[in-house]
Amino acid sequence: EVQLLESGGGLVQPGGSLRLSCAASGFTFTTYAMSWVRQAPGKGLEWVSCISGDGSDPYYADSVKGRFTISRDNSKDTLYLQLNSLRAEDTAVYYCAKNVPPETSKWFDPWGQGTLVTVSS
């Protein structure tokens, strides 16, 4: 069974930093691109970032480019998202998701349970 388990969320002050992790199991991690998708309280889904299976190609939404960094450790089957220069509008539940199929990475399946990031003074 594929499982994705996020951790690392919490309360941080504006301008602060946080690192999110997503531990994956149940599939060959290196075969698949992985993404982060966030959801602000009471709002819809917003794709944030994606990284290729070998970690060589990162992609970012304009709203986080230059502030967030996606990475992965394929020896640990773990995905990361480094969040810097955080703003109030970054407050959201952050989900990690597996991109499928491996050839085109068009969809997200499955999703983790999410980790809440709150940016507030």
Partner 1 sequence: EIVLTQSPATLSLSPGERATLSCRASQSVGRYLAWYQQKSGQAPRLLIYETSNRATGIPARFSGSGSGTDFTLTISSLEPEDFAVYYCQHRSNLWTFGQGTKVEVK
Give the residues lining the site for partner 1 (CB under 8 A). Answer: 35, 37, 44-47, 50, 59, 61, 95, 100, 104-114
Give me the least distance between CB of 114 and partner 1, in Å please.
Answer: 6
Residue closer to partner 1, measured from CB, 46 or 77: 46
β partners of residue 71: 80
Residue closer to partner 1, measured from CB, 27 or 47: 47
Residues ≥6 apart with Cβ < 8 Å to 68: 48, 49, 60, 81, 82, 83, 84
19: enclosing H helix or E strand: strand 18-25
Give me the least distance between CB of 90 and partner 1, in Å please.
Answer: 17
How far is 110 from 99, CA to CA, in rounded Å?
A: 8
Residue closer to partner 1, measured from CB, 16 or 102: 102
Give me the least distance between CB of 117 and partner 1, in Å please.
Answer: 15
Give me the least distance between CB of 62 and partner 1, in Å please.
Answer: 9
Residue closer to partner 1, measured from CB, 15 or 101: 101
Task: Using CA atoms of 40, 38, 9, 89 in order, give the dihedral in degrees to the nearest 10.
Answer: -40
Q: Of 61, 53, 110, 59, which Cα lies nearest the Cα of 90?
A: 61
